[in-house]
Structure 1
Amino acid sequence: MDSAAIIGKLRKLHEDAEDPEIGRMAADAELFQALLYLESHAAALKDDTARRTAAVQRVMLWEYLREQTDLHQAQAIEHARAAGAAWAELAPALAVNAPSAAYNKARRLKAAVLTDAATEDGPVRRTPEAVQKVEQQAAARAAAERRAQHDAARRHQLLAPVARRLIEHRQGLDDGDDVTYWLDQIASVLPNCQTPTQIVSLETYVAAVVRHLRKAEAANGRLAGMDTDAQLAYAAAAEVVP
């Protein structure tokens, strides 16, 4: 939400209504102070439509400000805990009477952070149990992503040398258009092949080279003009792709 732009429009309503104290209104970026001014000077708007529009916009901006407060308070709690603050120390700051109540309130505020992060299941219920479930799901997704990255790295260790040999000895491979095309694709992705997606692409290209070489081999009974190094590169590639 561009809160400053909305405040600017509300300021214009007061200017058009010739609010005599509009010069005292806070800057558009100072949301809280600007809202306090608009609230205390609502009577300056004489037109019913303008007054209704301004009031609805103020409702929306207070809601936005409340949501932002939850997010920033949750972050402050995380910083305090990281700095060694005990729940007993945080209880007065959170306007509760016991460490357990401070913990539970912090978990409810955490729900605001998780909701802001656009979880897959929509807004998170403000209970410690709901927050814990979402955090466990997030941890499981992160673990799965780490496993995928680890598997991709292992796959790259096997695939990259094979792809490199195909490029090094491409002159000895079949020079059909299909083989040439896929070798060009390998040559383009190989130098910067790091992400799982790039590694999958590289594997696809190597598999395509092997597939078309097999087709040529089946059609001709052999691969004409393939020297020993090219044969070894082809055999290595055939071992690492389906």
Structure 2
Amino acid sequence: MDARALVGELRQFHEEAEDPGIERMPADEELYGALLYAEKRAGSLRALPVEKQKAAALIRVLLWEFLSERLRVHQSTAIDDARSAGAEWRELAPALAVGTPSAAYNKARRLQAGSLTDAVPGTGRVRRTPEAVRQAERRIAEHRAAEERAQAAARQRHHLLAGAAQSLLDQQDALVMDEDVEYWLGEVAEVLPHCTTPTQMLGLSRYLSAALRALRRLEHRTGQPSARTHEAHAACAAVASALAE
């Protein structure tokens, strides 16, 4: 939700109603202050048609709901920071307006649901119960673990592919080449030193694949192996293996 845009709509309603205090309305990014102003000056909108008065009030309802959700997230973060600093649940109970440590713990878990809602992939709003929060935390942990495994696999593939590409370039003098092979190996040499992003890795893979195809076509045409040494043959095999990962 674009809260700033909605505050801007509220401002337009007040300007249209010729609210004499509009110059004192806080800036669009100052959500809390703008809402307080709109609440205090709601009477100035009576000069507008009733549909516009209703629209302005509904915007206020929506923005207060948005703000209350964000406040829960920030309060949950403050609780986490207090706990990290050594605060006991009995010390948090008065700040959370509850009477016992267990009540403070349960309230904190309910508040945490707000901060977990956006972090749970493919799910809706997390219910504000300790059980739902625990389930959400497990899903988040599983998702993060899967992401870490995928990233580790990508890094390993990157390492293997980049190493194989460099070995192939190092063995160019031991390869029988034509214009196509030279072109694609030139592309590999161009991108390899700066190959860090997934897009660049995809380009490197395509250039290496094209270079291998060109070498195979050359072998088929000449009837002779394109690798003249054991090292060159191993470099070509390493590239093929890395591309198959």
Q: Fold-level match, TM-score > 0.5?
A: yes
Percent identity over the alignment? 51
Would you say how many aligned residue pairs link Structure 1 and Structure 2? 239
Q: Which moved more, 1:105-114 or 1:201-210?
A: 201-210
What is the CA distance between 1:119 and its match in structure 2?
2.5
Task: Determine the structure 1 residue equivalent to 2:95.
Answer: 93
Point out 4+ residue stretches in structure 1 off by more than 6 angstroms.
none
Q: Of the candidates 130, 133, 136, which is equivalent to residue 131 of structure 1?
A: 133
TM (normalized to structure 1)?
0.80
TM (normalized to structure 2)?
0.79
Residues 1:30 and 2:30 aligned together: yes
Q: Which moved more, 1:148-157 or 1:64-73?
A: 148-157
What is the CA distance between 1:238 and its match in structure 2?
0.8
Q: Is the 8 A contact 1:166 1:234 kept in 2?
A: no
Q: Of the candidates 101, 105, 108, which is equivalent to residue 106 of structure 1?
A: 108
Give the Cα separation in 2 of the matches to 1:204 and 1:23. 60
Residues 197, 98 of structure 1: alpha-carbon distance in 2 compared, 3 angstrom cutoff: farther
What is the CA distance between 1:199 and its match in structure 2?
5.1
Q: Which moved more, 1:190-199 or 1:46-55?
A: 190-199
Give the Cα separation in 2 of the matches to 1:84 and 1:236. 57
Q: Is the 8 A contact 2:174 2:232 kept in 1?
A: no
Q: Is the 8 A contact 2:113 2:126 kept in 1?
A: yes
Q: What CA RMSD, in Å, does the superposition of the two structures yield over aligned residues? A: 3.0
Task: Determine the structure 2 residue equivalent to 1:238.
Answer: 237
Secondary structure of residue in 2 paired with 1:138: helix
What is the CA distance between 1:175 and its match in structure 2?
2.5
Gaps of 5+ in 1: none
Q: Is the 8 A contact 1:91 1:98 kept in 2?
A: yes
Q: Is the 8 A contact 1:70 1:109 kept in 2?
A: yes
Q: CA offsets, 1:7-62, max 9 Å, x none?
A: 34323433433434445544444322332232233222223233212111111111
Task: Determine the structure 2 residue equivalent to 1:14.
Answer: 14
What is the CA distance between 1:198 and its match in structure 2?
5.1
Q: Which moved more, 1:59-68 or 1:145-154?
A: 145-154
Give the Cα separation in 1 of the matches to 2:163 and 2:57. 67
Gaps of 5+ in 2: none
Give the Cα separation in 2 of the matches to 1:5 and 1:159. 47
What is the CA distance between 1:237 and its match in structure 2?
2.8
